[in-house]
Amino acid sequence: MLMEAEMFYTSKINSTKEELFQLSGHDSEFIKEIDFDLKELDHVFEELKKDLKDNTDNEEVIEAMIQNYRLKLTILEEMLMQVSKSSDKNENKNNHEI
């Protein structure tokens, strides 16, 4: 179960992150900020992995790991939505200026 979830969420996170970076125009400050937030979650995930090694049958740890993936994806999707809205507003503003 964990391996399938890991593959699914890793793929979704990577594709959403790439889309977000493309929409942001590869803004280095924005990318640094997102990476910082994601690295904090990675640190929590590594701690959970250590806990899982101690007790591989612990469903609570597995669920917490999956929740960590969900949180990353949610953060990225929310940021993507914000950047997309901002991009749409800028595009509409530019269209009205012509």
Distances (CA, A) of 86 to 33, 64, 91, 93: 17, 33, 9, 11
Position 7 scores a pLDDT of 93
pLDDT digits (tens, 9 = 90+) for 23-73: 888 778 888 888 888 999 999 999 988 888 777 668 888 899 999 999 999
- Rounded CA separation 57/19 (Å): 36
- Rounded CA separation 98/86 (Å): 19
